[in-house]
Structures are given as C-alpha cells and as structure tokens.
A = this chain, B = another copy of it.
Amino acid sequence: MVKGPTVYDVAELAGVSIATVSFTFRQPHRVRQSTREAVLAAAQALNYLPSGNARGLARGRTGALGIYSFDFYFLDDPASAGGAGTRAAAPAGSDPNADYRVFPLYVDEVQRGVALECWRRGYTLMVGGGNRTTGRTAIADIAGQVDGLAVFPRTVPVEVLSLISRRIPVVELSEPSHDDSLHHVTVDNAAGMHALTTHLITAHGLRDLQFAAPRDPWSDFQLRFRGFQAALAEAGLPVPERPVTEGDGAPQSAEALAAALLAGGRLPDGIVCAHDEYALPLIDALLRRGVDVPGRVAVTGFDGIVAGRLQRPQLTTVRQPMEQMGRTAAAILIDGFEDRTLPPQSRQLPVEVVLRESCGCPPA
C-alpha cells in the first residue's frame, strides 16, 4: 500500500549493486547462480516489485498497447440516451433480460481481439474511453503510457491523432477518410452491403428500398451506402440519392425516424440500416407502431453484434470479423513499434452476410 522497496533496497540487502539486481531479473544467465539466488532471496524478503513506470522510462517502451473507445456517435445523440446507444450503466433494477442492448457492442468485440493479440505477444492493453454519462479519460493520458494506440473513428480529433502518431503508431478502425498518416483496419463495406441488398432484391423480391443512417455518417457508412446504391442500380431499381434520416431539427432517434416514415405515408419494402445499433431500435419502434417486420417491411443491419441474435425478429445483417480486426490492429501496432520504419498500413478484411428473420428469411 505504501512506498515499496526499490532496487537499491534489494541491492543493499543482497550486498550487490543495483545493476546486478536488474540483471538478475532481466538477464539471469549473465549472473552467477549464487549471487542470483542471493538477490532473489533479498527481493523475496523485501516484497520487491519492480516499478513499471521506471522501467518504461528507462527502456523507452512500456509493453502496453492502448485503445480508446469513447463513442462520439452516440454521444452526439442525446435523444437515444435511454436507448441502445447509451454506453452508460444499465439502470438498476432493470429487466435482466434487456441489457444485451448495451453490451457487448461492436467496439467491445473488436477490443477483445486487440486484447487477445496483445496477450499473445506479451503486451498488456490499456483501455480508455467513456461517454457523457460515465465521464471519460483523456487520450493524452493513455497515449503517454503505451507503445501503440488503436482508436475508433470519430473518437478523437484528427489533430490530436496525428500529433500522437508522430510518437507512436496509431491505427484507426475505419476506412482511411482523409489523407492521414495513420494505419487503418477496415472491412469491405461496399461489397458487404451490395451482397445484402442483392439478397433482399433477388430472394425477397423487394423493390422499394431505403437506406437509413444517422444524420452525419462517416466514411464507412458512406461506402455502405454506395454498395447499397450499386446493387439497386444493377437490378434496374430506383436508386435513392441519399439515406433517409431523422429529419432536420427532429431528435436523432429511431422513434423519430419511424414516425417520419409512417407520417410520410410511404413506407418502403425494406430499410437497410447503416449498422445494427441503428436497426435494432428502429425495429422496436416500427413494431410498437403496429408495423409488421419483416412482413410489411424488412429491416437489416450491419456489424453482427450479439444483440441482433436476441432481437425479435432476429436481425439479418452483415457480419464484420470483429475479433480478427482487433487482432490485426494490435499486430500492426506491435510490428510498427518494433520496426519504426514501416509505412502506414491499410488492411481490409472480408465480411459475411448473415441471413436471419428480419429480412424475411426463416428463423435459423
């Protein structure tokens, strides 16, 4: 609990120099067995525990990777504060069967991949993040303590990222949007959405499709939208020029979108959502308004989060290899740190269409 013993204490007790103490732990073979034992005994007796900070400082590396998962998207969406997007604590006494909407999300599965790869290579993972309700940690605090940093898009201001990337490798888990000097890990968004859209058209005969996305979509969502458009064009169907969203001024929420779609009086045959977290509450909102899903309108997602399987009807989606993405990101960071000369990498992983009930397919 208090100030612990240091190399000096151990050295003194063992009757050797501090260098020998250090060697004993880092390069045991370079130390004579008898002295090694003496040092170990002294360390044992004193409850010696080396300071990670001091080691990191002296060695110029920390043996840790960092990940920052603050979710700006939902942060910007006060209207969803009680919905799926909120990364806050589940309200006490809430339905123990309903909290799967909050965890695990996309970021959590990716993070797990990062952690696994870290451990495999002997690194630890430092995670920072938060949101409006939980509070947050500063990225600077974590950037200063790790050998590499993984971030989700729209999580940290670009200037800050490029600042950090001048010191340690940084990988962003998204399509490279602007010409940054960061590494990137992403998936084939366009192809995935194209395949899914084509399925809706050919297997379910849908003709009137819309793409639903948050009002301010980022690059990955844009690519998904392009894939959607391309599939419609190829099928000779009308191609929406832009995604449907919650209407200006209206609060950004599934409720608002559902209401808008119904008020317009022109509900499409299918609503292709930019991602699962957008589709799930939308399905709820439609159902609540008496709209049959998928009977009247099919709704699909993108990501493949666990909640989609617990949803009724089960969510048809495009699954990202989240764990693999995390692993890849970690691998890039570690390699990038150990060989400072590597140029920015950009890796794209494949996706997989997962057919479940919400598009009209039979239950699995």
Contacts and interface: CB of A to CB of B under 8 A. Distances in A.
A76 B327 CA distance: 25
Interface in A81-118: 87-90, 92, 96-97, 100, 103-104, 108-109, 112, 115-116, 118
Interface stretch (A30-38, A163-171, A235-243): A163-171
A167 B49 CA distance: 8
Q: What 7 A-B pairs are tightest by C-beta distance, nearest first?
A: A52-B144, A52-B145, A119-B130, A53-B56, A120-B135, A4-B167, A53-B57
Range of interface residues on A (Cβ < 8 Å): 35 or more
Given A1-B166, A108-B112, A119-B129, 9 more contacts: A1-B167, A49-B163, A90-B323, A97-B354, A119-B130, A122-B137, A125-B126, A125-B128, A126-B127
Given A123-B137, A137-B118, A137-B123, A166 B47 contact: yes
Interface string A61-84: 011100000000000000000000
Given A135-B122, A137-B124, A52 B142 contact: yes
A161 to B, nearest CB: 11
Nearest to A64: B126
Given A115-B129, A134-B119, A49 B143 contact: yes
Contacts of A63: 141
A264 interface: no
Contacts of A352: 96
Contact of A96 (B62, B129, B135, B304): B304
B50 A364 contact: no
A57 B51 contact: yes
Interface string A244-286: 0000000000000000000000000000000000000000000
Residue among A52, A109, A336 having the largest count of chain B Cβ atoms under 10 Å: A52
B124 A127 contact: yes
B309 A140 contact: no
A167 B130 contact: no
A127 B128 contact: no
Contacts of A116: 87-89, 130, 134
A319 B96 contact: yes
A202 to B, nearest CB: 21
A204 interface: no
B130 A120 contact: yes
